[in-house]
Amino acid sequence: MLNIDLHCHSNISDGILTPAAVAARAKANGVDVWALTDHDEVGGIAEARAAAQALDLQFVTGVEISITWANHTIHIVGLKIDETNQTLLEGLAATRGGRERRARDMAAQLAAIGIPDAFEGALKHVGNPDLISRTHFARHLVEIGRCADTHEVFRHYLTEGKPGYVPHRWASLTQAVNWIRGAGGIAVVAHPGRYSLSDVAFGAFFDEFKQLGGKAIEVNTGSHSPDQYVEYAKVAATYGFLASRGSDFHSPGESRVDLGALPPLPDSVVPVWHDWALKAQS
């Protein structure tokens, strides 16, 4: 069976490794088919593709788009996109556009509780100045000894209701799915178990996603517990969604699940790659 990992990050968004280093780690971990899915950015794809080719690693283009739906932040992964599609590129640029303003507001709020210069501090961890994220603030606060790890930073400073949190309006669900489909790609709901939606809201969200042409949800992801693999396999069956598998790897020290390390998808689901032309691994 092929080891397929369709969700991870490089330093072009909030991962730590370069796209080529992520490719090398995927290969070393036994991944056969790999997608790089940086947040709101396809700038790492050329390097990732070239590195994968050199390693004989089958490469799938990807992106993870931040959206706001009913005041919730949700992530939509696009797979097999044409990363040169102009409408997609413009949409991603617009989605990234508000990040610097938001980061400056976050830094001002942190300064007000006695943590000065967090913008400059976060910037030191940024690989792509266009993409400053909460993760970079988290790494800075760990570095200056405010917290033991990035998860603690998120819990105490960077999530809703905490002093460094700044609400943000991302792309709409319609935009994200249209950009992905317009670029020839497949839209996938990332880590559905991570959102705090009621059952009713989830139903409405999945219905709308499907009606827009969304095709799949992540079932096995580094953000789900094993119980949630079972739970979201059932959701996939209920809505007729294909299922995806992706570690959501960000860095060796921070990620719970390494590249290629998740268990295989449950037998009951249809994998998102069911009709892809993949080479059997020799």
Contact 10, 49 (CB under 8 A): no
In the complex with ligand AMP, which residue's Cβ is closer, 19 or 271? Answer: 19
Q: How far, CA to CA in Å, does 50 sit from each of 36, 57, 81, 152, 277? A: 12, 10, 16, 36, 19
The Cβ of residue 169 has, within 10 Å, a number of other Cβ atoms equal to 12
Q: Does 134 bind ligand AMP (CB under 6 A)?
A: yes
DSSP state of 159: S
In the complex, the smallest distance separating the C-beta of residue 134 from ligand AMP, rounded to whole angstroms, is 4
Rule CB under 6 A: choose which of 3, 11, 37, 66 binds ligand AMP: 66
Residue 154 interacts, among Mn ion, ligand AMP, none and using kind-specific CB cut-offs from 5 to 8 Å, with ligand AMP
Binding partner selected for residue 59 from Mn ion, ligand AMP, none, CB under the kind-specific 5 to 8 Å limit:
none
Our finding on whether 135 is near ligand AMP (CB under 6 A) is: yes
Given 3-state DSSP classes, what are the helix, strand and coil percentages for the chain, each rounded to the nearest 5?
40, 15, 45
**Which of these ranges, 81-89, 120-128, 129-137, 237-245, lies near ligand AMP under the rule CB under 6 A?**
129-137
Residue 247 as a binder of ligand AMP (CB under 6 A): the answer is no
Of the two residues 73 and 174, which places its CB atom closer to ligand AMP in the complex? 73
Residue 272 in 3-state DSSP?
A: coil
Alpha helices in the chain (DSSP H): 19-28, 45-55, 86-97, 99-112, 118-123, 134-143, 150-153, 173-182, 199-211, 226-239
151 binds ligand AMP (CB under 6 A): yes
Does the footprint of ligand AMP cover residue 41 (CB under 6 A)?
no
The end-to-end CA distance of the chain, in Å, is 11
Query: 124 or 279: whose CB is closer to Mn ion?
Result: 124
Among 4, 7, 12, 14, binds ligand AMP (CB under 6 A): 14
**Residue 151 binds what, of Mn ion, ligand AMP, none (CB under 5 to 8 Å, by partner type)?**
ligand AMP
Smallest gap from Cβ 142 to ligand AMP, in A, equals 11
Q: Which is nearer to ligand AMP, 151 or 234 (CB)?
A: 151
Least distance from ligand AMP to the Cβ atom of residue 77, Å = 12
How many residues belong to the chain? 282
Contacts of 161 by beta carbon, 8 Å cutoff, 6+ apart = none
What are the counts of helices (DSSP H) followed by strands (DSSP E) for the chain? 10, 8
Question: Quick check: 39 binds ligand AMP (CB under 6 A)?
Answer: yes
Asked whether 190 and 79 are in contact (CB, 8 A), the reply is no
Residues that bind Mn ion (CB under 5 A): 14, 64, 75, 190, 248
Lookup result for tokens 């119980």: 227
List of residues contacting ligand AMP (CB under 6 A): 14, 39, 66, 133-135, 150-151, 154, 250
